[in-house]
Structure 1
């Protein structure tokens, strides 16, 4: 492969090691790399998921971030079990991002997740040195300020930085992969170890006899593109270490294509209870739409039945006039529910979505109904909640056993703040 025509940058991919567990260990005055600690979503539930395990816990017992609370070795006196505190993790992540802004401009920083971030350090040699020197400085400063160990990958683009971080830096601390290193440092690895290839794509590629990244790089591009479309083409170029995604820009602004809310319920819900849950999800969805001055024409409802039954349905329907009025969305969701619900199964998962968005000012008001009043009522409720909190004003149904709004107000990302 001739790489002369492809851009070369100095991109760092920084990953905080066992981030949630590390934050909790530091709060307790412990060494995050030595403490045997697990962060659990809700310790009062035996089936609650382990959100993070410290490196020592992973090494000693093989605990992963998909393990359950009841699977933890409770007989180990060294084991520390901590409930998740999402607000602390968000705060620490923001502070780490602020630290990185001391090294690079805002447009060169691209947060990928709460514990992972790309930083492009082009042109900073005279200030801080080369990529390796900058990586060492950042790694040292994060440890000193926050007590957290991080791994850093260095590459010509985001993919190479991320791939070498996953495959090498998590063991070595800092690792580098340039275009010329792809064959040696990436090709020998199984495709499932590569960022962007999930279990389904792994199965598909394995059926084609593609086991390693090197085999993917040397496969037929036309066939991959024909079979998997744009994704197949992207995987092929990634296998050669080529990634043309931008490394500078405002990475926080993306076009909103829909508004939605959903959740997996903590227990099986009956038909009457799930109606309350749907209403509250519609309330939050329309609130977000109104805040963004958007309204949608397509309303989507998804229902997942309990594990014992399995299955469910996912259906959508369009309306004539775009809406962001809670009761209009709810009424359509109820039509879908009554039409497609089997009438007997308990329900464990619910989600609603408002799609096909328009600017709210483009919607037309009907002179013969009370749409204007319903819309004004929604904005008034939004202002009250913005000023006094999300539970400052609630529907009476939220206080019934099926209500979820009060419990959700205590959480961030589905976990306790």
Structure 2
């Protein structure tokens, strides 16, 4: 592979080690790397997921971030704490502010709350080479927040991310140039590579591809024919090539729809689910109204409880775009009564509003006062924006089947 035709950048991929657990350990005055600590979504539920396990807990007991509360060891030294999402977001924001001391905002690309890419091109005269900069950032984060991080360094974002996942999590800091790809990445199993999940792994194994080194010389045309655009991306990534932009304002793509869903904490009966659907429609329409959009296609998804399994996902289109809660609710209930099997308990519900139009493009109806209906929604939105999300609710949201009040206490599905 002739790498001379491809751009070389100085990119760092920074990952906070067991971030949630580390933040909680620091709050308790403990060493995040040595303490046995687990962050649990909801300690009142034995089946609640372990959101984060400290490195020591992972090493000693083999716990992972997909373990369940009831699987935690009965160790007297183990600290079990509930999740505090607001704290994690605050620390993540402060870490990003620390990075502003090195690079401008355009050079920072957050990947998640605990992982970020930083492009450090042209900083040699001020801070040293990219390895020196990585060492300084790692030191600063530890000094300011008490949190250990792993840093991958690469000629592009893909190399920085993959070398961080494979090597830096063991070494602290690891570097990979184009010339290092064969030595450092090719021996790795394909599932260790960012972007390759369990399904893709099985597909590649059927083709005799187990490692990245076996993927690299594979015929590009066959990969493209088998996997489409994804196959071509796999091929170039196997050679360490990634043309993703490394600097600039990373703007979200145009909004294509609004969706909201929930995994219910208990089985819902047929007579209760309408409450949940109404609350979800309220949130979806609120988000649409916020950006002056309305949609013509409404979708309802229902998953049944584990005892029966299955469910359905159906959509329908209406003639006039809407962002009125009750319009969407009535369509969803029509879909529910049409496709519900009539007996199964319900454990998950989601609704979406797509096929979007701007409010200015929405056609008025001669037979219905739509303006008045929509104004009610905007007034309720304004009250909530000023006084809080639960300052005005429909009476049905206060019933046992309502979900809005409980969800208002959470961030990302977990308690703030």
Deviation track 1:211-266 (CA, whole Å, cap 9, x = no partner) reads 00010111111011011100111011000000011111111433211111001110
The structural deviation recorded for 1:125 is 1.1
Moved over 6 A (4+): none
Q: Which residue of 2 aligns with 1:394?
A: 393
SS in 1 for 2:272: helix
Q: Which residue of 2 aligns with 1:340?
A: 339
Deviation track 1:268-293 (CA, whole Å, cap 9, x = no partner) reads 11112111001000000010111011
The structural deviation recorded for 1:356 is 1.2
Q: Which residue of 2 aligns with 1:266?
A: 265
What are the residue-to-residue correspondences of 1:323-402 with 2, within 5 Å?
Answer: 323-402=322-401
The structural deviation recorded for 1:335 is 1.0
The structural deviation recorded for 1:323 is 1.0
- C-alpha change, 1:252 and 1:31, in structure 2 (3 Å) is farther
TM-score (norm 2): 0.99
- In the alignment, the residues of structure 1 paired with residue 42 and residue 60 of structure 2 have an alpha-carbon distance, to the nearest angstrom, of 23
Q: Which residue of 2 aligns with 1:283?
A: 282
Deviation track 1:394-413 (CA, whole Å, cap 9, x = no partner) reads 00110111100000000000
Q: Which residue of 1 aligns with 2:167?
A: 168
- In the alignment, the residues of structure 2 paired with residue 360 and residue 147 of structure 1 have an alpha-carbon distance, to the nearest angstrom, of 49
- In the alignment, the residues of structure 2 paired with residue 133 and residue 292 of structure 1 have an alpha-carbon distance, to the nearest angstrom, of 44
Q: Which residue of 2 aligns with 1:31?
A: 31
Tell me whether 1:157 sits opposite 2:175 in the alignment. no
Q: Which moved more, 1:248-257 or 1:111-120?
A: 248-257
Tell me whether 1:20 sits opposite 2:23 in the alignment. no
- C-alpha change, 1:111 and 1:209, in structure 2 (3 Å) is same
The structural deviation recorded for 1:33 is 0.2
Q: Which residue of 2 aligns with 1:89?
A: 88
Deviation track 1:351-388 (CA, whole Å, cap 9, x = no partner) reads 11111111122112213212111100000000000001
Q: Which moved more, 1:244-253 or 1:308-317?
A: 244-253
- In the alignment, the residues of structure 1 paired with residue 70 and residue 369 of structure 2 have an alpha-carbon distance, to the nearest angstrom, of 53
Q: Which residue of 2 aligns with 1:106?
A: 105
SS in 2 for 1:4: helix
Deviation track 1:69-104 (CA, whole Å, cap 9, x = no partner) reads 000012x11000000000000111111111111111
Q: Which residue of 2 aligns with 1:318?
A: 317
Deviation track 1:47-69 (CA, whole Å, cap 9, x = no partner) reads 00000000000001000000000
- In the alignment, the residues of structure 1 paired with residue 382 and residue 300 of structure 2 have an alpha-carbon distance, to the nearest angstrom, of 27
What are the residue-to-residue correspondences of 1:129-208 with 2, within 5 Å?
Answer: 129-208=128-207
Q: Which residue of 1 aligns with 2:218?
A: 219
Tell me whether 1:254 sits opposite 2:253 in the alignment. yes
SS in 1 for 2:315: strand
TM-score (norm 1): 0.99
Q: Which residue of 1 aligns with 2:291?
A: 292
SS in 1 for 2:298: strand
- CA-based RMSD of the aligned residues comes to 0.7
Q: Which residue of 1 aligns with 2:5?
A: 5
Deviation track 1:166-203 (CA, whole Å, cap 9, x = no partner) reads 00000110000010000000000100010000000000
Tell me whether 1:120 sits opposite 2:90 in the alignment. no
What are the residue-to-residue correspondences of 1:36-51 with 2, within 5 Å?
Answer: 36-51=36-51
Paired residues in the alignment total: 416
- In the alignment, the residues of structure 2 paired with residue 127 and residue 357 of structure 1 have an alpha-carbon distance, to the nearest angstrom, of 48
SS in 1 for 2:365: coil
SS in 2 for 1:246: coil
Q: Which residue of 1 aligns with 2:209?
A: 210
Unaligned runs of 5+ in 1: none
Unaligned runs of 5+ in 2: none
Deviation track 1:124-164 (CA, whole Å, cap 9, x = no partner) reads 11111110111011000000111100000000100000000
- In the alignment, the residues of structure 1 paired with residue 44 and residue 411 of structure 2 have an alpha-carbon distance, to the nearest angstrom, of 18
- In the alignment, the residues of structure 1 paired with residue 313 and residue 219 of structure 2 have an alpha-carbon distance, to the nearest angstrom, of 37
